[in-house]
Chains A and B, each alone.
Chain A
Amino acid sequence: MVYNYESLTTDVLVIGGGGAGARAALEASRWGAKVILAGKGPVGKSGLTPTANGGYQTPFMAEDSPELYCADQLRLGCGLNDERLLKVLSEESLSCLKELEGMGAGISWQPSHFEPTLSHPRSVMIPGKVMMQVLRKSIRSERGITLAEGWLVTRLLVNEGKVWGASVFDLKRGQFILVKCPAIILATGGLGELYSNSANSPLGIPTGSVGEGCWLAAQAGCELVDMEMIQLAVVPVRPEIISGLRHLPWGPFFNSMGQEFITPGEGPYSPLAARQVAAEITEGRGPVYIDLTDKTYRSFARHPAAKVRDKTLYRLALTPFQGRIEVAVSSLFSMGGVRINEQCETSVAGLFAAGEVSGNVHGARRTAGNAFPEIMVFGRRAGKYAALFAQENTPEKDNRKASEFGVETERIKRLIASESEGDAVSPVYIKHAIQNVMDQYVHVVRDEGGLSRAENILRTMEEDFLPRLGVTGGLVAMNLSLMEAIAVPGMFKVARMIVASARARRESRGAHYREDYPQEGPVAQHTRLLWKDECPIVDMVPVERLKAV
């Protein structure tokens, strides 16, 4: 088999086919950069963005203010949010939204109260589909942006603490690509698929949210924070056809005895409500249902685009008005990730991050409707600052450092060659095995015993399975098995990063609940993670605060 590779040069490589990536690519191009927007799935159409309901928090009402918004986020985020990032978010979310409206997006401006404990209702509606439609139209009209579907970025290439390119495997052509570029934006989204029940797999189909951005960054020597902060929320699991779909009214929830048990006033993203649902199930009072069968059907969708989905669900008799819907606790969002500053810079020069892959925006709890402003505000900023960085730092001209790319292509070639021998293990099997460990030991309730057990099992499985990873079908275009095989080693690493961070946080805060340390500690600190010598190294560091003026 002959393995070709080609070499490309660009100013900015944006990795991620969802909203943050699209917004970043658009902005980088507007600042004059030549951009490649690469994604595993359909670029500018994939990730979690199009699946989202469309809540978008912005403090635009007369009685509301950016300061009140920040205070709310910091309170619900249990003090773990980076105040500098919150300030930017609070001040720029409205202009980003108006830009989308200017591009033609229809917005329902009547704010609603998805989070009962926020001081003001400030979630307006722009369904993910509508957001992506206008963004995709805009990126397609930018001549400076090349869309690259089916690109798996397998490694960031770094020299002396500075990125100079990326190693890519092009699934469509079965070819390796060396991309030389002075700036890279990670917009790879979340890691929900590390759990078996996930809102990142709407309608039961994976979206590719396996956390590879966190692994790419860690491998490049980049700092990550608060990897243990994973939002696990109440999501439908049965009928299986709508598992992972979040488009339901909030309750009422009943256990198998017909009792309501969720503390009144808790909303859909409440860690307490998630723990209460999990407790009903593990203590034998499950399954838990949302039941509105005694009520007359009404659609909760306010935006015309959201009503289409409601109609589909009604037609299929899949609303809780037509029959009970079983729920469970599923992964939804990763608050932790790559540490960024206001310019979306990471600790590696030339590496930028925006959206769910970034780590210090939402603290210990993301509030409903706060992912969309994040992807727009920080997507825009990442695009701008990456473009400016690329102007100052031209791409590498010499080939001396290409050996790193060679090592990476050899690694992938070995995966391709690992075609099923007698004791081969499929990537699907390994993925499920990782999910089982995360479900069992790294879920809503954690303790040292379970976490250390998870760490041991993950390491043992990694040593046992990875050498036997079997790819079926070989080097052909769009080989799903190969795509998953490339993802699997990173999934192990990200799972180990989460476990190590969860062990290091010996307190309970927001989404992270430790049965052996049930109290919140006196000072909010990040768990900071660096990947060294094949291991996650975690320490506790202070949270950035705004300087007193």
Chain B
Amino acid sequence: MKDVDNVTITIYRYTAGLENKPGYETYKVPVKGKMTILQALQYIYEEIDPTLGFRQYCCGVQYCNSCRMLVDGHPVHTCIKVIEKEEYTLEPLKGYEIIKDLIVDWDKKIG
């Protein structure tokens, strides 16, 4: 496992109900020691972009699934996923309606 100083995170952005086209936005986050992807999202929300949508909750035991999203195309619990490379792409889970950015509506399955 290697430590990185900065991570570039590209995030899927879309807000249901607004007339906006889905797109991607890229953020650069400083990494001190070990950091999870969810902690990087919290950093982006607090320091860079308060409009970012993700479920700001963490049970830490892979139960609540709040933090589950696609990391480079694969479903991952981001609360325990440690940043170990310089670039990631985050997208919402597939198979559900998107509410906002990385948040899906678990009550509304699609496809």
Query: Given that A172-B105, A316-B82 are contacting pairs, would A239 and B33 also be in contact in the complex, using a CB cutoff of 8 Å?
Result: yes
Q: Which residues of B contact A472 (CB under 8 A)?
A: 50-51
Number of A positions contacting B (CB below 8 A): 41
Question: What CA separation (Å) do A128 and B39 show in the bound complex?
Answer: 22
B82 touches A308 (CB 8 A): no
**Is A411 interfacial (CB 8 A cutoff)?**
no
The verdict on B18 contacting chain A, using a C-beta distance below 8 Å, is yes
Contact (Cβ within 8 A) A240 B52: no
Contact residue among A127, A208, A309 (Cβ-Cβ distance under 8 Å from B57): A208
How many angstroms between the C-alpha atoms of A305 and B60 in the bound complex? Answer: 12
Bound CA–CA A313/B86 (angstroms): 22
A308: chain B residues at CB < 8 Å are 61-62
Q: Are A205 and B34 in contact (CB under 8 A)?
A: no
Stretch at the interface among A40-48, A98-106, A438-446: A40-48
Chain B: which residue is nearest A483 at the CB level?
Answer: B56
Q: Given A203-B58, A240-B35, A174 and B53 touching (CB < 8 A)?
A: no
Q: Indicate with 1 or 0, residue by residue over B19-34, a CB within 8 angstroms of chain A CB atoms.
A: 0000000000000111
Most chain B Cβ neighbours within 10 Å, of A127, A241, A478:
A478
Q: Would A241 and B64 be within 8 Å (CB), given that A42-B57, A203-B79, A480-B53 are in contact?
A: no
Which residues of chain B (64-102) have a CB below 8 Å from chain A? 64-67, 79-80, 82, 99-100
CB contacts (< 8 Å) of B46 on chain A: these are 428
Q: A199 to chain B: closest CB distance in Å?
A: 11
A144 within 8 A of B: no
Measured in the bound complex, the distance between the Cα atoms of B80 and A308 in whole Å is 12
CB atoms of A207 and B58 under 8 A apart: yes
Give the contacting residue for B59; candidates A50, A426, A428; CB below 8 A: A50
With a cutoff of 8 Å between Cβ atoms, the chain B residues found around residue A478 in the complex are 53, 99-100, 103
New contact pairs (16) apart from A240-B33, A480-B50, A481-B50, CB-CB < 8 Å: A50-B61, A127-B61, A149-B106, A149-B107, A174-B17, A203-B38, A203-B58, A203-B60, A203-B79, A205-B56, A205-B79, A308-B62, A426-B50, A477-B100, A477-B103, A478-B53
Interface residues of B (CB under 8 A from A): 1, 15-18, 32-36, 38-39, 42, 45-46, 50-67, 79-80, 82, 99-100, 103, 105-107
6 A-B residue pairings within 8 Å (CB atoms): A46-B66, A129-B63, A203-B80, A205-B79, A312-B80, A426-B50
